[in-house]
Amino acid sequence: QVQLVESGGGLVQPGGSLRLSCAASGSIFRIYAMGWYRQAPGKQRELVAGITASSGTNYADSVKGRFTISRDNAKNTVYLQMNSLEPEDTAVYYCNADIKRSVYSTTQAYWGQGTQVTVSS
């Protein structure tokens, strides 16, 4: 069993900051790419930021220069530092990780339950 548990969402004023965390636990042999997605009401889920096992990163154009993704491999945790938040960033944020549960298993994608981020004055 593998679980991804997110934390750090909430209500913040425009221009403010939040830091999301997502910890993977359970039967884990290796974690490869990790990422953050978001889904706003009435919209499709979109990639916000991704990070490879060697910490290569990529970002959606809409968050470049404002958001930073990082990971702590010793803690099986991925972070998303969000600065200069805008109302358009309001969404449910989901973490995602490609995980191999044992040396014999295939790599599968796992998702967290989501955490709400609301940017409003």
Write the CB contacts of 50 (distance below 8 Å, at least 6 apart in sequence). Answer: 33, 34, 35, 36, 57, 58, 69
pLDDT number for residue 82: 98
Count of other CB atoms within 10 angstroms of residue 13 = 10
Q: Which of 77, 42, 70 is CA-nearest to residue 56?
A: 70
What would the two tokens of residue 119 be? 């940017």
- What is residue 13's predicted lDDT score, i.e. its pLDDT? 98
Q: What is the pLDDT of residues 10-68, one digit of tens each?
A: 999 999 999 999 999 999 999 999 999 999 999 999 999 999 999 999 999 999 999 99
Return the number of other C-beta atoms located less than 10 Å from residue 92's C-beta. Answer: 18
* Other CB atoms within 10 Å distance of the CB of residue 67: 22
- C-beta of residue 84 within 8 angstroms of C-beta of residue 15: yes
Alpha helices in the chain (DSSP H): none
Bridge partners, 5 (sequence order): 23
53's torsion region: left (phi>0), alpha (psi -120 to 50) or beta?
Answer: alpha
Predicted confidence (pLDDT) per residue in 57-101, tens digit: 999 999 999 999 999 999 999 999 999 999 999 999 999 999 999
Please give the Cα distance from 27 to 9 (Å, whole number). 26
Handedness of CA 4, 8, 12, 18 (dihedral sign): negative
